[in-house]
Amino acid sequence: MSTQTATPGAPPAPGPPARAERRTPARPPRRGNRTGSLTSRVVVNGVLAVVAVYTLMPLTWLVIASTKGYRDLFATNPFSLGDFALLSNLAALFAYDDGVFLRWLLNSLLYTVVASGLSTLISVACGYAFDKYDFRGREKLFGVVLVGVLIPSTVVQLPLYLMASELGLVNTYWAVLIPSLVNPFGVYLARVFSEGYVPGEVLEAARVDGAGELRTFVKVSLPMLAPGFVTIFLFSFTASWNNFYGALMMLNDDRLYPVNLGLFMWNQNVYQQPELYPLVIIGSLVAVLPLIVAFLCLQRFWRSGLTAGAVK
């Protein structure tokens, strides 16, 4: 074994050659990708603009037409303002036939708020039970609920009318309220929300602390399901507010009409009573406002509820 001693002043021994670093040349940006991305955004934004115009144009016409009298409705451009008769049209709307429109509006609020609140509570409880409890025939029963989602509501109106007739409920508030309590789609959504928002560990901790099943649902699970509750409520609210065919089948007394059915009856008589035409237009605008207010007030919960289950 030999040992090499470095001599003072002597040049250092040459070491192994250093490896040259390989540098990958920067690739020039692909112009094709940028052009394709820009084209995609232009197409998407263009489609969204067309959809927005298509959606907002009828509402814009409704707002403008509500400011016109009967003569200006047919003598001026559809999208030009009239003599601003909005206040006089509103006064005539609520004064016509001893204020029957206000009664229709209150009927719609009764049908919608009561039915939507109870329907949402029932749907959330059922969806929670389908998700958190294991019982015999659970999936088969849930499949029956999903079949109910596929059946159009107009198909079951005649059987519902015959059943209500046998029970003596035709031409009463109950004939409209009771069928609105059943919401298969709400049960399906509630189960999805329960899977995404209510951990099983929290329920086990509540049971260990001595809470019963009802108290666990009300005090623990229901607050967690608040976004889903609001989302289902908005869907039920819209469906109940727009429930035209069910009220048409069940009701004969015009004092029990919801606002959409009442406006339809007015519109059927505009040829015999032309003065009803401005009332139908301004009434349609007033009938849209509760839906807009509901969505604006609850949109924060609605947006968060729609993302339930997206990230787990």
pLDDT digits (tens, 9 = 90+) for 119-159: 999 999 999 999 898 888 888 999 999 898 888 888 888 89
C-alpha torsion angle, residues 135, 140, 141, 143 (rounded to 10): 140
Long-range contacts, stretch 216-219, CB < 8 angstroms, 24+ apart: 217/125, 217/128
Cβ atoms of 115 and 153 within 8 Å: the answer is no
Which residues, other chains included, contact 302 with Cβ-Cβ below 8 Å and sequence gap of 6+?
Answer: 227, 230, 231, 234, 295
Q: What is the pLDDT of residue 100?
A: 92
Alpha-carbon gap, residue 71 to 274, rounded angstroms: 10
- With respect to residue 159, please indicate whether it lies within any of the assigned structural domains: yes
**Percent helix, percent strand, percent coil in the chain, to nearest 5:** 70, 0, 30
Over residues 272-287, the pLDDT tens digits come to 888 888 899 999 999 9
Could you give the number of structural domains in the chain? 1
pLDDT tens-digit series, residues 40-51? 888 888 899 999
Q: What pLDDT sits at residue 107?
A: 93
Give one DSSP letter per residue of 132-187, joined into a string: H---TTHHHHHHHHHHHHHS-GGGGHHHHHHHHHHHT-TTSHHHHHHHHT--HHHH
Please, which pLDDT band fits residue 7 given cuts at 50, 70 and 90?
very low
Q: Is residue 257 part of a domain?
A: yes
Helix ranges (DSSP H) in 198-311 = 200-208, 213-215, 222-224, 226-241, 245-250, 259-268, 276-306
- Does a structural domain hold residue 231? yes
Q: What is the mean pLDDT of the chain?
A: 83
In a domain? residue 117: yes
Question: In this structure, are residues 82 and 69 in contact, taking their beta carbons and an 8 Å threshold?
Answer: yes
Whether 198 has a pLDDT exceeding 80, the answer reads: yes
Instruction: Dump pLDDT digits (tens) for 61-119.
Output: 888 888 887 777 777 777 777 677 788 888 988 998 888 999 999 999 999 999 999 99
Domain hosting 154: range is: 86-306
- Residue 38 covered by a domain: no
pLDDT band, residue 302 (cuts 50/70/90): low
Maximum CA extent, the chain: 123
Cβ(105)–Cβ(234) below 8 Å: no
Decide if 180 contacts 296 (C-beta within 8 A).
no
Q: How far is CA 9 from CA 3, 4, 12, 13, 145, in A?
A: 19, 15, 9, 12, 95
The two tokens of residue 19 are 């490896």
For residue 16, being part of any structural domain is answered with no
- Token pair belonging to 202: 């929290």
Residue 218 lies in a domain: yes
Separation CA 194–CA 214 (nearest Å):
16
Measured CA to CA, the distance from residue 23 to residue 2 in angstroms comes to 41
Q: Average pLDDT for residues 228-243, to the nearest whole number?
A: 89
What is the average per-residue pLDDT within 12-32?
Answer: 53
In a domain, 149, yes or no: yes
| pLDDT for position 97 | 86
- CATH assignment of the domain containing 137: 1.10.3720.10
